[in-house]
Amino acid sequence: MFLAVPAWPGLTALIFGTLGIGLAASSAAVINHAVDARIDVKMVRTLARPLPQGRLTEANALTFASFLCVISMVMLWFLVNPLTAILTFASLIGYAVVYTIYLKRATPQNIVIGGAAGAAPPVLGWTAVTGEIHGDALLLFLIIFAWTPPHFWALAIARTEDYARAGVPMLPVTHGSAFTRQFILLYTVLLVLITVLPYLSGMSGLIYLLTALSLGGMFLYYAFRLKMSDEPDLPMHVFKFSINYLMVLFAALLIDHYLILRIGI
């Protein structure tokens, strides 16, 4: 939202766009909990969720998810713009139905294909403010899309037994840890190359570029270590680093954006 405009986004789009997109994401997450309740009970990572613990029923969850979905769509359509509402609904369906119900159980490439839904929020924020899809928003989408596999596969390596027990065909379960580590390294190389594009397109300046290259070098270091080492705690270290990586990368985009506007560097 902030990157989409030279100054500050309008207050209406900022408040209701954020609320509407957030409520839609919450709806998708609740549907995910309801659909996955039977496998969540078999996984240490998800056993404490409300449905496996019996604190809520699936009917409770789906009713709540429907309420969140309706409120978010009404808010986005009438208080933001119809394009944002349509794209947000498509993202909700992509995550809650296409990924959670089908892809997650159908292919070890589930998070690669399903990652499109998780990468959508920057595009949704951009359209909430401008009413259109812009190439720069698609670059942000592409960064998150390429970031998702190394981020999530690192977690999948650390929780391979969980996924195997639940019958979810994550890449480490179907192809083994060594194969997955190789793909994490390859996707990290791709990610680093993609993060240079905002600078090359003129979307950002040197502050962002230097940050992206520094962070990319650190991510490559972790990915290479992961490929070469069987340290038991390393996959979770890589997973946690990837979260901080994305946060700092996008913060650098914002800092760069506003400094360029203020002092023209």
Q: How far is it, in rounded angstroms, from Cα 183 to Cα 175?
A: 11
The pLDDT value given to residue 214: 98
The pLDDT value given to residue 59: 95
- For 54, phi then psi, to 5°, come to 80, 15
The pLDDT value given to residue 261: 60
In one-letter notation, the amino acid at residue 36 is D
Q: Is 102 helix (H, G, I), strand (E, B) or coil?
A: helix
The pLDDT value given to residue 263: 56
Q: What is the mean pLDDT of each run of 10 residues along the chain (265 residues)?
A: 91 96 97 94 92 94 97 98 98 94 90 92 97 96 98 96 93 96 98 97 94 98 96 96 98 90 55
The pLDDT value given to residue 7: 84
The pLDDT value given to residue 65: 97
Residue with tokens 């609904």: 89
Q: Which residues contact 5 (CB under 8 A, 6 or more apart)?
A: 129, 130
Q: How far is it, in rounded angstroms, from Cα 30 to Cα 62?
A: 7
Q: How far is it, in rounded angstroms, from Cα 96 to Cα 239?
A: 23
Q: How far is it, in rounded angstroms, from Cα 111 to Cα 118?
A: 9
The pLDDT value given to residue 262: 57
The pLDDT value given to residue 8: 86
Q: Which residues contact 88 (CB under 8 A, 6 or more apart)?
A: 20, 21, 24, 72, 73, 76, 120, 124
